[in-house]
Amino acid sequence: MNGNYTFAIIKPNAVRTGKTGPILSIINEAAFEIVAMKMTRMSLEQAKDFYSIHKGKPFFDTLVEFMSSGPVFVMILKHKNAVEEFRKLIGATDPEKAEPGTIRKLFAVSVTMNAIHGSDSDENAVREADFFFSESERYF
Ligand code: IDP
Ligand code: MG
């Protein structure tokens, strides 16, 4: 996916409270192209697997319970320098530290329920995209 793609999740709190449309609008305004997207609900086991890098951290159980608590939208996004540009668009993990106008500043309700996930490296973007999408579900 060579630098031009990232992977995102609109998290359960944001989907549940009707923020999917407003968040997609911001993503669109920032000129990210959606090349794959679907609504799904992670099982607890899937959430543990997806976030296995955080296993053992104090927030792990809360995080995986939250991420499996309801439907999410998962997507692959295309943009120049996608990983870094999307991390800028979503803002800091802690919404109180996020820049004004970022998706987390606008829609997060706490550090855990921070509205959106964005991959932190090209390698993780590939791993995370592969976690949810088969080849035939991508429209590059
Ligand atoms: P990121 O989502 O900004 O990449 P990570 O450190 O990868 O942040 O953490 C993954 C997710 O775990 C965060 O988005 C957030 O939902 C949750 N999280 C991270 N740190 C904390 C914390 O200190 N308390 C509660 N939840 C946290
Ligand atoms: Mg992360």
* d(CA 136, ligand 2 centre) in Å: 26
- CATH for 5-137 is 3.30.70.141
Position 86 scores a pLDDT of 98
* d(CA 123, ligand 2 centre) in Å: 12
Tell me whether residue 117 is one of the annotated catalytic residues.
yes
Parallel, antiparallel, or unpaired: how do β-strands 72-78 and 116-118 relate?
unpaired
Task: Quote the CA–CA distance of 93 and 100 in Å, as a whole number.
Answer: 13
Task: Quote the CA–CA distance of 53 and 55 in Å, as a whole number.
Answer: 6
Is residue 2 over pLDDT 80? no
Share of the chain above pLDDT 70, in %: 100
Position 140 scores a pLDDT of 81
pLDDT tens-place string over residues 73-127? 999 999 999 999 999 999 999 999 999 999 999 999 999 999 999 999 999 999 9
Position 127 scores a pLDDT of 97
Ligand 1 contact via 114 beta carbon (within 6 Å): yes
Share of the chain above pLDDT 90, in %: 97
Please report, for the chain, the start and end positions of each structural domain, with discontinuous segments joined by +: 5-137
Q: Residue 87 CA: which ligand 1 atom is closest?
A: 3
